[in-house]
Amino acid sequence: MQYQHTDATLALMKQAPVIPVMQVADAADALAQAKSLIGGGLTVLEITLRTKAALKSIEMLTRAFPEAIIGAGTVTDADQMEAAIDAGAAFLVSPGMTRRLLKAARKSPIPWLPGVATASEAMTLHEHGFRCMKFFPAEAAGGVKYLSSLAGPLQDLVFCPTGGINPEKAKAYLELSNVACVGGSWMVAPALINAGDYAAVERLAKEACALRAPV
């Protein structure tokens, strides 16, 4: 079985080595973050649905930056899926997967990157047709060593590790054969955003682009 969005999901995972995970406070914040990240070369952006401004920001950024791929993260139920799709999200990311959420995910018209933390969870999703998955929380769930150990028995799977990753750790993950990209928020750290240091955001985005994933 092959999930219908596998090719599209792989394509967006391989577009850049890092998918920034953005938490936005309002429209101005979303625009400033996105402009700096895209200016630095990161064009696949995940807006986490943890704030009231998230859905409106997805809608706005999709219009403002047609060259970018704007997705929704922290999707935990079917209602959020529908709301994110209505807002124009081009892909969805979840921290894990329940039976109800899996049922909704299989009907999603856009790519979905489901979260897994164990081999059993990954195998279960593979049985339902998923090849591309988010490994979360990456560092807490075993890090590079654990994910590397899955490459042998689960050769068909491709991961985007997220959670506790910095530039140094990102480089180590990207050297794994079963990793296409990583997710991270170090380039949009709260200290930088609160200080309005978007020049640093763009610089860190450029550095992240230099962390090339293996072909």
Dist. CA 92–CA 158, nearest whole Å: 16
Q: Pick the catalytic residue: 46, 139, 169, 202?
A: 46
**46 in active site:** yes
Catalytic residue among 121, 134, 145, 175: 134
Structure tokens at 165: 């990753």
* Cβ(82)–Cβ(105) below 8 Å: no
User: Any idea which residues carry the catalytic annotation?
Assistant: 46, 134
